[in-house]
Amino acid sequence: DDIKLSQQYDVLDLFKYMHQ
């Protein structure tokens, strides 16, 4: 499950990067 959380964070980072 830890990996799932990490993946979610990765997506969030990607979203932030796209929004930048």
Predicted pLDDT of residue 8: 72
Predicted pLDDT of residue 10: 81
Is pTM, for the whole model, over 0.75? Answer: no
Residue 1 has pLDDT above 70, yes or no: no
Residue with the bigger pLDDT between 3 and 11: it is 11
Instruction: Please give the Cα distance from 20 to 4 (Å, whole number).
Output: 24
pLDDT one-digit tens code per residue, 6-20: 677 788 888 888 877
Per 3-state DSSP, what percentage of the chain is helix, strand, and coil (rounded to 5)?
90, 0, 10
Predicted pLDDT of residue 6: 67
Predicted pLDDT of residue 15: 87
Q: Is 20 helix (H, G, I), strand (E, B) or coil?
A: coil
